Amino acid sequence: MATTPASVAVRPPGPLRRAVASDHVAGWMFVLPSVLLIVLFGLLPIIWGFVLSFQKAGLISPNRPFTGLANYERIASDPLARTAAVNAAYYSFLFVPTSIVLALFLAIALNRKVRLIRFYRLAVFIPVAVSTIATGIMFLWLFDKEFGLANYLLGKVGLGPFGYFDSPQGAMPALVVMTVWGWLGFDTIVYLAALQGVPRELIEAAAVDGAGRWSQFQHVVLPLLGPATLLLAVWSTISALQLFDEVYFVTHGGPLNRTFVPVFYIYRLAFTSSYGFAKAGYAAALAYVLFMVILVLTLIQFWLGSRVVHYSS
């Protein structure tokens, strides 16, 4: 576009300049780097995973023929998928209530002014910083059949010896103890925050009305912990159903498949040749079913929660 110098002086900014200065372009410039990354590594996999679940696919061969619903139909008759589902349910059933009840108990104990409180809190919080693998090594040692501290200490009170990760009955409970240790700090922090949000006036008002300590707790504090409990129940269930690191590293799904859980199965199908090749499509279908189960359970929990939990604000 040719313009005379005179017209430049009076001309308003060109369309390009205006566009750059406009909110539309500026906004996209700010979000674009993140959006591109998340589309590529977050959104695309969700779509691709869904497509894969209808294919016979491996990780190496680019040849991925569509097989319709075959992968999903196979899940229904796959005894290993069934074992994984049963174990995931069993683990969640033990892990979720145990971790939540213990955390509530710890948070109440830790919510007071006593000497050494910082030390006590640190002791409960610190496993949050320890990785699943490091935790696994510690508990393999603690729960060692021959030389472990656990059998020694339990022996002193007349219990055991137990086989822990080596015993078909004991492996899952041992896994629960180990993962609860790792999670407790997290849950306790959430409960502590909720406890500190309980208005002092409410408790004092209840005390003035003659409520005893237990009654104060039961009728004033506990209802106010509803939202935190709901949240922890949802998170713990989600993470329980996705258990992997500890199983992969500590129990390898055994003994006798007693700790064989869904993500471990998905991993082995897709990334190892344990069950033959070209199983990535089937693994993707399993992953999607797991996702749907998690989604439905989460919705149910929130729905149940909305009927029970009381939100103060």
Partner 1 sequence: MSVAVADRTAPGDVDVSALPGEDGMVEGPRSRWLPFSPWHLLLMPMAIVMLIPLAWMIATSLETLAQTRHFPPILWPGQLQWRNYPDTLGAAPFSRWFVNTTVVTVTVVLSNLLLCSLAAYGFARIRFWGRQAMYFLLLATLMVPLQVVLIPTFLIVKQLGLIDHLGALIVPNLANVFGIFMLTQFFRTLPIELEEAARIDGASRLKILFTIVLPLSAPALATLAVIQFLWTWNDFLWPLVTIINNTDAFTLQLGLQNFQGAHATDWNLLMAGNVMATLPMLLLFLLAQRWFVRGIATQGLKG
CB of 98 to partner 1, least distance (A): 14
Size of the site for partner 1 (CB under 8 A): 108
- Nearest Cα residue to 250 out of 168, 170, 166: 166
- Nearest Cα residue to 124 out of 142, 138, 103, 141: 103
Give the SS3 label for residue 45: helix
Q: Does 189 bind partner 1 (CB under 8 A)?
A: yes
Torsion sign (Cα): 202, 208, 209, 215: positive
Interacting stretch for partner 1, rule CB under 8 A, among 77-85, 87-95, 179-187, 204-212? 179-187
Question: In this chain, which of 5, 10, 200, 208 binds partner 1, going by CB under 8 A?
Answer: 200
State which H helix or E strand residue 136 sits in: helix 132-142
Residue whose CB is less far from partner 1, 41 or 79:
41
Question: In this chain, which of 267, 278, 297, 301 binds partner 1, going by CB under 8 A?
Answer: 267
CB of 204 to partner 1, least distance (A): 12
Q: Does 270 bind partner 1 (CB under 8 A)?
A: yes
State which H helix or E strand residue 253 sits in: none
Interacting stretch for partner 1, rule CB under 8 A, among 7-15, 87-95, 164-172, 184-192? 184-192
Residue whose CB is less far from partner 1, 171 or 192:
192
Instruction: List the interface residues with partner 1, window 205-264 (CB under 8 A).
Output: 227-228, 230-231, 234-235, 238-239, 242, 244-245, 248-249, 263
Give the SS3 label for residue 209: coil
CB of 219 to partner 1, least distance (A): 17
Site string for partner 1, 32-71 (x = CB under 8 A): -xxx-xx-xxxxxxx-xx--x------x------------
Contact 161, 155 (CB under 8 A): yes
The two tokens of residue 253 are 């799904």
The strand pairing partners of 66, in sequence order, are 55
Instruction: List the interface residues with partner 1, window 276-295 (CB under 8 A).
Output: 280, 283-284, 287-288, 290-291, 294-295
Interacting stretch for partner 1, rule CB under 8 A, among 1-9, 20-28, 75-83, 164-172? 20-28
Contact 68, 307 (CB under 8 A): no
Distance from C-alpha of 270 to C-alpha of 281, rounded to nearest angstrom: 8
**Residue located via tokens 């992969």:** 248
**Residue located via tokens 């977050």:** 42
Q: Does 20 bind partner 1 (CB under 8 A)?
A: no
CB of 45 to partner 1, least distance (A): 4
Q: For residue 158, which amino acid is it?
A: G
Contact 84, 261 (CB under 8 A): yes
Contacts of 146 (CB under 8 A, 6+ apart): none
Instruction: List the interface residues with partner 1, window 99-158 (CB under 8 A).
Output: 106, 109-135, 137-142, 144, 146-149, 152
Distance from C-alpha of 88 to C-alpha of 271, rounded to nearest angstrom: 21
Residue whose CB is less far from partner 1, 5 or 15:
15
Residue whose CB is less far from partner 1, 172 or 269:
269
CB of 235 to partner 1, least distance (A): 5
